[in-house]
Chain A
Amino acid sequence: MRNLLAILFVMLITGSAVADDTALATQFANLQPTFQKFCFECHSSEANEGELDLQRFTSIELVRRDLKPWQAMIVQLETGEMPPKDHPQPSAEQRQQLIEWTQSLLDAEARRRAGERGNVPLHRLSNAQYNNTIRDLTGIDLQPTRDFPDDGAAGEGFTNAAEVLTMSPALMGKYMKAAKEIAEHAVLLPDGFRFSASATQRDRTDESVAALRAFYRQFTYEGSLPLKPYIAALAERRSDLDSGKVTIEQLATEKQLSAKYLGVLWATLNDSKPSFPLDRVRAYWNDASGPNVDAIVAEASAWFDRLWEFPRVGSYVNSHRQKAKPPAIRHHGATENSVESSAAVWDDEHQQVVVAGTEAEQRLLVELDEFRRVFPPNVCYPHIIPLDEVVCLKTFHREDEPLRELFLSDEQIAQLEHLWREHRFISRFPLVEKEYLPLFIGFVTQDQPKELVEFFENKRPEFQRWADEFERDFENAAPQQLAQLSDFAARAYRRPLSESETHGLTSLYQTLRDKDVDHEPAFRSVLTRVLMSPSFLLHLEQTGNTADTVDDWTLASRLSYFLWSSIPDNELLQIAHAGRLHEPEILAAQTKRMLADARIRSLAIEFGAQWIQVRHFDRFDEKNENLFPEFDASLRGAMYEEAIALFEDLLRHGGAVVELIDADHTFLNETLAKHYAIDGVVGEQWRRVDGVKKHGRGGVLGLASVQSKQAGASRTSPILRGNWVVETLLGEKLPLPPPGVPELPESEIGNDGLTMRQITERHVSDAQCASCHQRIDPFGLAIEQFDPIGRLREQDLGGLPIDASATLSDGTLLIGIDGLKSYLMTHKRDTFVRVFYQRLLGYALGRSVSIPDHALLDEMMRRSDNGTASVTEAIIAIVQSQQFQRPMEGQP
């Protein structure tokens, strides 16, 4: 359901439009002689001076179709620039009639055309959008546009404007190169694929080894049994465990230990069934003075060397680097029938004995195995890559039975198996080893016993089988990988794929396979194709255009590219899938959710920083290194971050628009705080700092980035700064400077004792220049207290005192940044808020704001509470507006 009030509103304005029409047409006819007399001499179809033909507007209908010249005409008439001074002039009354008629026509058009989508031609992703999209699609921030040409700006001055985002062969070549590179980052897996920061198989294998190592490291350092923390935990909470006050699981969680091993140990230590070496450990557990943790660990460890041996691994000859060692049992005479339960039995000096072949010996062997099971010296081989042999056939060694048996939950075992399965896919070790085997045999025959050579010769069939199995598994994974590729394409295209599109992906794959291309390059090629598809690189909006809103998939894209400069996330896609995104409450809720998301940083940069002209400030190095050695990469980066943080905070927390002028807080780290001479900010982490007005900070005017950008390399420029205030904050369009602009010195030093203020004032004493500079310069002079790199100062670089007072053309006196801010907050509040809304709307739509948007801006202003309303409300008003939701005009 659309908003009922909105419908009524539309009906009302449509009704009045009819009345408007008749009156305007009559007036237009009456004005014809005036046009004839004063305009057509130059602006006839014949003369067409300045590419302006007013004669062709023979009816009001034709006027409506091309309003631009009429908008320009109002300005020309009002400022008296037209007709030119040396031509016949209309009377004041005639001039007024022309202005009034044109204005009423424009007003009527604004009502009649309110909410039009306007001219947003099909356009590609901007560089920022492409980078973010790839980041969110692959999970890796690959920044593929690093060496792309920069995007230009259009519309309201942003690089996301549809107008500039065109395609060219050179750019397509770059997109192709990028797509191929991104496809190289795909990692093929048994159950699909993912992306990795690495683009080579070697790096991906390293990554996979690292993942396995990280898994093992959760449980053990260097693979050894981590006995002590377990024993200590059990000892500490023994009575609680006994009484049932705490369970093994709770204790494991509390101490971050394996519940499984904790349980095994608990059972073992408390078991009363006699078992030879275990009883020695239990003796310390059951010590009268309480469990002796160190003694338990020492006793258990003392048995490691007696019960185990550690062959060198790496080849296939030894499958384990930790093997049970046959115990050094000394056999006695045939009659002896007992085992001395003593450690000394294993000690050469105090040999104790069992009778060979007796039940006692069998029992001893079983008991030793029981001990081995609970106390293995190592639980796994965590290095994965065998390190201990010079030449090694085995590329990766897996040995983790004790870990699985004693430590891992079923879920963890599944996870570990999964990692190894993936590792096999990524490293392809069965293929690698099969290929290496003949070389290895050739190598070992040089100085090894014949048996060893034979051993490996006999392994050939087995290696072949492993390799064949691998190839088969690799091929068998293809359907699932391709299925996942279709899902990937759907996310990339921001909508479900049509059947023929899905088919197109598999058919390309098949075509390539038929040309003897292997699975993997064929798969990467299909991925490349997706990344070069117009459905991916362009903001394509397929739509049945009879509706007055686009479909939900398109709406989701418009929303996410507006707020995140990236693809919709899963939640947004799900809502679009359910067809509910266009419902006003849901759209508003999603907008709020997205504003609170970290990805809103893109809006802070692409809209906020770009609006105040500091985007990419981190690479702005146009300062004199001799005068400002401190203006280094770290300071520039900090200045830029402050600007981003200011907008990010405003958007995430729904601040008031006027905060951008009047905030008493900003965002600082130690580097920037030092630059600002604000004490008490320690460390490079970013934080909100309140009470900064007294330091000249807060809002966009307090940003060092802004003050630096609007200054020269060696001096300030009150003109640049003033112009920035007038054009950026107040949205005024200044006429062009006349030719023959006089010279200015380039430094603040050595100007015959003149300050930049005096030089600037002299510069504009020319009457021709003065009319504009009176509008510009006072704003810049009021902030002369900021030096060329945005620090507050008392005197300029030449040592002359700063005077930060300025008188506006209406006589208002401004002193310093505080004076400028309070002037803006009182006299120019509405102007500033409206300019902000206009730029934001232009950014959201990717085009210039024009006549059909006036009603929306008026409505946003009505709801803005003098700029104190949350920016969130303005954003919601935009995304719920007709211009944001309507499809492009024109039939398919």
Chain B
Amino acid sequence: MTTHDFSRRTLLRGLGVSMALPWLESISAWSNDAASAIEPPVRLACFFAGNGFHSDEWWAKGEGEQMELGKVLESLHPFREKLLFLRGLYNEEARIGGIHSCQTGNLLTGAHLADGGEIRSGISMDQVVARHHAGQTKVDSLVLGCERSIAALHKNYSMIYSSHISWSSETTPTTLELYPALAFDHLFRDDVGRTDASVLDAVLEDTIGLRSKISQSDSRRLEEYLESVREVEKRINSAGKERRLQGWRPTLLEPNIARPADGIPQDIDEHMRLMCDILVLAFRTDTTRVCTLKLNNDHSSLRFPNLISDRGPTQGIDYMIHHLLSHTNNGDWLKVNQFFTEQVAYVAGQLDAIEEGERTLLDNSMILYLSSMMTGNHNNDQLPVVLLGSGGGQIKTGRIHDYLDKPNRKMCSLYLALMDKMGVNLKQFGDSSEQLADI
């Protein structure tokens, strides 16, 4: 190998790997922190529902037990003392570019989106947390969805943006799992063959061998390939090994529900419910601590034959959300909104029933519920955001925070605050360098 080669490779590794992980060196992992070894860990989940909510029914007033909620949020009433209603937050970059795609692809990244058939966002905050704590749980993060992603361009932007809120690199949305059974397998099943490790070693060898043979512009993608193989290898190497549990132990070590059936359930309510159950199970068993669940796409075409339409008792709400539903802002639209919130409420209820030390699992979590726009007609000068759980007592809940007139009302500031509570102390994320006040 020539010295020229050496320096070039070093450079490529720098581009491909360390650029994606600028914080790795500087921040100590929480497991090294003596206190956290006995405290239950904080879990972070994000529920996304595209296309906004009914314009008159997303609201909250009052405080604590007295808090009242709009009809969209009704099912969260039992958890009113454990939630924060955040008004007036917005994402500056989501106001540039097209509707739908550009309001969603950067919702958790705060990044500028590339147009014209290119794909570029940023690393989303769930993935920042997942990477930071990589290896502490069996699965670094869980990225679930209940609607297939859209393969098209819309107003000069790829609809890949409107189908993905989680991004594991600037150019790669995190792979979405739509199949409940496969999500379950990913968490709990180790299908490791005797020869897998040797095969992966050989693949790594092949990949590294190709480095010198491809153009520089291709090297980033090759490094991405290499990283992916390494991740699979890591997973295989840790499979079957006893988890070292010191201090705090999860309240459940093995799944207490059966593996869901193969395939995507025909009924949307069953599909969503299974995904919620898997999320709860993943948190309870401490198999992962970070999860995003995309209930639908922005520009969704889901239908809800399970819900009864205002048009008549025998009719389901079977017209697609966009454009035929979200723009109408009618009673059926409200029912769909409520159906989404019920999923969040279901998960909150499940988590709240699980005692973890002094608190419940819900208390030990931070569950974000948000959309890409305020209402169905693309307005995102402010976004609908609710946060459930106190992050293990770090957040004072049962309150409403109004940021509308405050200088810092950036979503990325909220993410900075949430990441901080997950043990990730960043100076800067997306377009913000300051944590949101009062969280």
A residues with a Cβ closer than 8 A to B are: 50-51, 68, 119, 121-124, 147, 149-157, 159, 161, 163-164, 166-174, 176-177, 180, 500-501, 504, 508, 511-512, 515, 517, 521-522, 525, 528-529, 532-535, 537-538, 540-543, 545, 610, 613, 615, 622, 624-626, 712-715, 717, 720, 733-734, 736-737, 739-747, 842, 847-848, 887-892
Contact = CB atoms under 8 A, between A and B. Distances in A.
Contact of B179 (A122, A123, A147, A150): A147
Contact of A743 (B209, B305, B329): B329
Contacts of A625: 305, 318
Interface string B300-332: 010101000001001100111001110111101
B221 interface: yes
Contacts of B118: 119, 154, 163, 848
Interface in B214-241: 214-218, 220-222, 224-225, 227-229, 231-232, 235
A541 B219 CA distance: 12
Given A167-B228, A892-B215, A534 B222 contact: yes
Given A176-B200, A740-B379, 16 more contacts: A152-B151, A153-B151, A166-B172, A167-B228, A169-B231, A508-B199, A517-B195, A525-B198, A532-B203, A533-B203, A533-B207, A610-B151, A713-B320, A737-B378, A741-B378, A746-B324
A722 to B, nearest CB: 13
9 contacts: A121-B220, A147-B263, A152-B151, A172-B228, A615-B151, A713-B303, A733-B156, A737-B99, A744-B324
Given A150-B149, A153-B151, A517-B195, A167 B327 contact: no
B270 interface: no
A273 to B, nearest CB: 67
A172 B99 CA distance: 32
A714 B216 CA distance: 52
Contacts of B224: 166-168
A535 B210 contact: yes
B207 to A, nearest CB: 5
B117 A163 contact: yes
A735 to B, nearest CB: 8
Interface of B: 96, 98-99, 112, 116-119, 143, 148-153, 155-156, 158-160, 163-164, 168-169, 171-179, 182, 186, 191, 193-196, 198-200, 202-203, 205-207, 209-210, 212-218, 220-222, 224-225, 227-229, 231-232, 235, 262-263, 301, 303, 305, 311, 314-315, 318-320, 323-325, 327-330, 332, 377-379
Contacts of A848: 116-118
B20 to A, nearest CB: 12
A149 B232 contact: no
A714 B309 CA distance: 13
A504 B206 contact: yes
Nearest to A719: B323
A154 B160 contact: yes
Contacts of B216: 890-892
Contacts of B229: 172, 532
A626 B178 CA distance: 28
A713 B319 CA distance: 5
A522 B174 CA distance: 33
Contacts of A528: 195, 199
Nearest to B119: A163
A792 B328 CA distance: 28
Contacts of A170: 143, 174-175, 177, 186
A891 B221 contact: no
B328 A745 contact: yes
B19 to A, nearest CB: 15
A741 B177 CA distance: 33
B160 A153 contact: yes
B171 A166 contact: yes
A66 B20 CA distance: 25
Contacts of A500: 209
Nearest to B319: A713
Contact of B214 (A150, A171, A540): A540
Nearest to B161: A152
B117 A161 contact: yes
B150 to A, nearest CB: 8
Contacts of B210: 534-535, 540, 542
A622 B377 contact: no
B133 to A, nearest CB: 15
Contacts of B232: 169, 172-173, 176
Given A154-B118, A529-B199, A741-B377, A168 B218 contact: no
Contacts of A615: 151
Contact of A746 (B153, B212, B325): B325
Contacts of B194: 517, 521
A51 B228 contact: no
A53 to B, nearest CB: 12
Which 8 pairs show the lowest CB-CB distances between chains A and B?
A152-B160, A169-B231, A170-B175, A848-B117, A122-B218, A172-B228, A890-B215, A122-B221
A509 to B, nearest CB: 10
Given A149-B175, A736-B155, A177 B221 contact: no
A710 to B, nearest CB: 11
B202 A529 contact: yes
B324 A122 contact: no
Given A152-B119, A533-B203, A525 B330 contact: no
A636 to B, nearest CB: 15
Contacts of B206: 501, 504, 529, 533-535
B158 A888 contact: no
Nearest to B326: A741
B340 to A, nearest CB: 19
A153 B224 CA distance: 20
B160 A892 contact: no
Contacts of B155: 733-734, 736
Contacts of A739: 377-379
A426 B111 CA distance: 57
A714 B176 contact: no
B215 A889 contact: yes
A99 B232 CA distance: 53
Contacts of A540: 210, 214, 218
A746 B218 contact: no
A155 B117 contact: yes
A9 to B, nearest CB: 27
A615 B148 CA distance: 14
Residue among B168, B186, B218 facing the most chain A CB atoms (10 A cut-off): B218
A154 B325 contact: no
A501 B209 CA distance: 10
Contact of B319 (A157, A177, A714): A714
Nearest to B381: A739
Given A50-B96, A180-B193, A889-B215, A169 B149 contact: no
Nearest to A515: B198
A892 B222 CA distance: 13
Given A149-B177, A713-B318, A747-B311, A164 B158 contact: yes
Contacts of B171: 163, 166
A122 B222 contact: yes
Contact of B152 (A122, A157, A733): A157
Given A173-B232, A529-B203, A166 B221 contact: yes
B404 to A, nearest CB: 17
A741 B215 CA distance: 48
B227 A169 contact: yes
A646 B199 CA distance: 44
A119 B202 CA distance: 30
A147 B314 CA distance: 33
Contacts of B209: 500
Contacts of A742: 327
Given A51-B96, A167-B224, A542-B213, A152 B179 contact: no
Contacts of A68: 116
B330 to A, nearest CB: 7
Nearest to A542: B213
A892 B215 CA distance: 4
A737 B227 CA distance: 41
